[in-house]
Chain A
Amino acid sequence: MSGLSLALRDSNTMLRRNLLHARRYPSLTLNLLLTPIMLLLLFVYIFGDVMSAGIGGGADRSDYIAYLVPGLLLMTIGSTTIGTAVSVSTDMSEGIIARFRTMAIHRGSVLIGHVVGSVLQSVLSVVLVGAVAVAIGFRSTDATALEWLAAFGLLVLFALALTWIAVGMGLVSPNAEAASNNALPLILLPLLSSAFVPVDGMPGWFQPIAEYQPFTPAIETLRGLLLGSHIGHNAWLAIAWCLGLAALGHLWSASTFNRDPK
């Protein structure tokens, strides 16, 4: 069997294994889904009136829903990838990984299975959170089919980037608790982005951090695609961040995984 078809076949087997895990034990994924949904409801129904004043232009609650949803969709991805870090870390502590290492299979398939499985879970989670958003009144104003497609592509790319980082975090964590802690920035970063309030409203010294961290360009791009706001250089920034993080996470994960186990 050639190298590529071996890689595809083994990665597919590993993916099916991970999806089986997720299907048998959905509680982790579902728990992580609660955070963005709670935040969505909290910010819309409890803080909605106050927050809408914060985005300016005499906005009301329904305007704030529109403002909030792109950020929360990306936060959903951050939240899902915490689960990735935890399940990778748990998996590595299992004896079966040592078995895989002594089998004539494609070396990278274990990680690729995790990554693809996690991206699929992210997409599913985004769809679920999106459905809740639509149910409470979120509507895209003017997105064309192409813009929807681009929005979907951005979400997948963003999920891929965060997932590779989360896999690396899972690999270097000695246990599930540590993995969960190490992956915390993935869900904290959106709070320091333009997800909830515009960057303009933050203290001057903090604005550059908020503006150029990975979440804000992706959020602004998604807003532009779905709601027609100005995207500008954010699209390129978002893509650069995604590719950079994915490459970095991949190299980190691969070198950690290929090291001799203790």
Chain B
Amino acid sequence: MTHPAIAANGLRKSYGEKVVLDGIDLTVPQGSVFALLGPNGAGKTTVVKILSTLIATDHGQARVGGHDLATESQAVRAAIGVTGQFSAVDGLITGEENMLLMADLHHLSKREGRRVAAELLERFDLVEAAKKPASTYSGGMKRRLDIAMTLVGDPRIIFLDEPTTGLDPRSRHTMWQIIRELVAGGVTVFLTTQYLEEADQLADRIAVLDNGKIAAEGSAEELKRLIPGGHIRLRFTDPSTYRSAATALREATRDDEALTLQIPGDGSHRELRAVLDQLEAADVEADEVSVHTPDLDDVFFALTGPADLPTQSQSKETVR
């Protein structure tokens, strides 16, 4: 059986007048990591809620784990694990009791349940805290317990809705490590994030969601290729040197305050030499040369409509 882990077609959802999802098509192959990337309010959580059977879609259909979302929702539920954006742990009982609760709901035998709970508590570094109420856990610990609970039923498809939002850098890296281990075990991961770095680090495929539509989809490399944004950056300390360089390099974008010049280009050896040759001819020397390749930030801002952040040169214009 080689059906995709998730296949969605034309998902639409609106609340009253407000259209949250406006025709979403997705295919996630088994064993891969798919990242849904988008700003707040783009509809990421709504996609997760629909695909995890929490809410129904208004239009369109989807199959998760080979089962139809609308007609075989219990079969879908048996195949998935979900860690929502807000921690889905029972704060009134201890971490261990939370794990045993999950074991009971997955109908494991008492012995099997204890074994799985102990194993996961150990794996997620929660043994010491196991006997404490989950409400006393830190954000990172709660998130780890949350994922540990999701794993009790050994799901083959896991939804992670903003798994690292609100975590400190160390916890974030721990979470990334956890996700990589899951994937190594053959699990399909569907994650949402507003962090471009996270999508870049983890995902095989990335879809950029904006205003309820998929603005672009592809691997991180493919997305980066979609937009130009590479440039060579020259920084000067002496204003007169800077001015001579600016005159020599006509195509450069000037930033007079920071004394830097940006020359569009892909950062190839030949381009770099050409720029340096021009500087040499004008008899000036840059204090710092750096090559900037487009990253997902560039893609993100280029794709998600009117840029929230004006480009540097524009902002300088308005300041002046």
Contacts and interface: CB of A to CB of B under 8 A. Distances in A.
B59 to A, nearest CB: 15
A24 interface: yes
Interface string B72-111: 0011011010101011111111000100010011110000
Given A101-B53, A261-B54, A261-B55, A20 B105 contact: no
Interface string A243-262: 00000000000000000110
B101 A17 contact: yes
A84 to B, nearest CB: 15
B52 interface: yes
B92 A24 contact: yes
Contacts of A104: 74-75, 77-78
A95 B62 CA distance: 24
A95 B87 contact: yes
A94 B52 contact: no
A13 B106 CA distance: 11
How many chain A residues sit at the interface, stated as a range, is 20 to 34
B54 A102 contact: yes
Interface string A63-107: 000000000000000000000000000000011101111111100
B86 A95 contact: yes
Interface string A158-176: 0000000000000000000
The 10 closest A-B pairs by CB, nearest first: A95-B88, A99-B88, A104-B78, A104-B77, A13-B104, A260-B55, A102-B82, A95-B86, A102-B52, A96-B90
Interface of B: 52-56, 74-75, 77-78, 80, 82, 84, 86-93, 97, 101, 104-107, 133, 149-150, 153
Given A1-B107, A96-B90, 11 more contacts: A9-B107, A13-B101, A17-B90, A17-B93, A25-B92, A94-B90, A95-B84, A103-B153, A104-B77, A260-B56, A261-B54
